[in-house]
Homo-oligomer: A and B are copies of this chain.
Amino acid sequence: MARYPIVLLFCLLLPGVLQAAPVAIALHGGAGTLTRDKMTTEQELAYLQILDTAVELGHARLQAGARGAEVVREVIRLMEDSPLFNAGFGAVFTWDGRHELDASIMLGESLRAGAVAGVTRVKNPIEAAYAVMEASPHVLLSGSGADAFAEGQGLDLVDNQYFSTPERTRALERYRATQVESESAKFGTVGVVVLDAEGNLAAGTSTGGMTGKRWGRIGDSPLIGSGTYADNSSCAVSATGHGEFFIRWQVASDICARVKYQKVYLQAAATHVIHQELTQAGGDGGVVAVDPRGNVAMVFNTEGMYRASVNGVGEKVVAIFRDEPATGSGVADDG
């Protein structure tokens, strides 16, 4: 008789044991004053399509057991190669009419990280960030030195003009004339966070920075703790927005610190940092984040953020505007 409770317990737990480990992914392609009246239906569909393609690719690879770092690289490469985003091909212009690209990657299991700032010849900056992590004793390389390192690692190199598109050329001309950055060019950074089947978190971010940037300006995207952070004991975050605020408020690592030390849920931590801290300071932007249980948070204080996710229970979101439903998808106890 005494065995019945044990058998019952076993039966209750069995489905959980047999269930595959949860995987989750969330990605962004920038945040800003994105409203329906500023986009044609064709543009909207083009963005929704690539966001969907990217999140499906990443989710399928995670389900197949691919490691987090590989999935972050693959999905960001896909987005870098699209002219729709301000990263890789289609990056914005600097004041001098060139392209200076930044990227970073971090692994939550080991806190290993790699980043590049101001590369000008690497076709896929996320690959340069990955190579810094894998093949150098450093975390952050910059400028022509980072290009030289990437070349030594055998990465695909291109002429700087490879990154140029007619749309970004027009944005630079407008910026030079008005000194006011066009909104579409302002926030096009891409980023991906994942929970892989081994339970490890990873995050990556890639950007062309701000149109018309000068003086070797470095934003938050290549900076560990600012634009990118991953720690298995808390969460993985990738940010997009007005980089200076994300550096000063340490947005990525602060969200993780709140999860770790205040024991709040990911969605609550991300919401507080973006809607209280950042908004009060006057900083615009957003984050995508994932925690070790597969909860996903996609939080922004702008009118829209190109975003897509599949959380740990398989719920999928692909969206652009603020009024679209339930973008902070949660698992079980996460509000």
Contacts and interface: CB of A to CB of B under 8 A. Distances in A.
Contacts of A262: 261
A215 interface: yes
B145 A217 contact: yes
Contact of A217 (B140, B215, B253, B254): B140
A265 to B, nearest CB: 15
Nearest to A141: B215
Contacts of A118: 142-143, 216
A240 interface: no
A298 to B, nearest CB: 23
B225 A140 contact: no
A35 interface: no
Nearest to A253: B250
A38 interface: no
A136 B214 CA distance: 10
A112 B249 CA distance: 10
A224 B253 contact: no
B145 A214 contact: yes
A226 interface: yes
A218 interface: yes
A178 to B, nearest CB: 16
A215 B149 contact: yes
Interface hub of A139, A215, A253 (most chain B Cβ within 10 A): A215
A141 B217 contact: yes
Contacts of A223: 140, 223-225
A83 to B, nearest CB: 26
Contact of A218 (B140, B217, B244, B257): B140
Interface in A87-136: 106, 111-113, 117-118, 136
Contacts of A140: 217-219, 223, 247
A229 B247 CA distance: 11
Contacts of A138: 215, 217, 244
A270 to B, nearest CB: 15
Contacts of A141: 215-218
B216 A111 contact: no
Given A118-B142, A138-B244, A148 B253 contact: no
Given A142-B143, A244-B138, A148 B215 contact: yes
A5 interface: no
A281 interface: yes
A244 B111 contact: no
Contact of A224 (B117, B136, B219, B226): B226
B254 A218 contact: no
Contacts of A247: 113, 139-140, 224-225
Interface string A162-187: 00000000000000000000000000
Interface of A: 106, 111-113, 117-118, 136-146, 148-149, 214-219, 223-226, 229, 243-244, 247-250, 253-254, 257-258, 261-262, 281
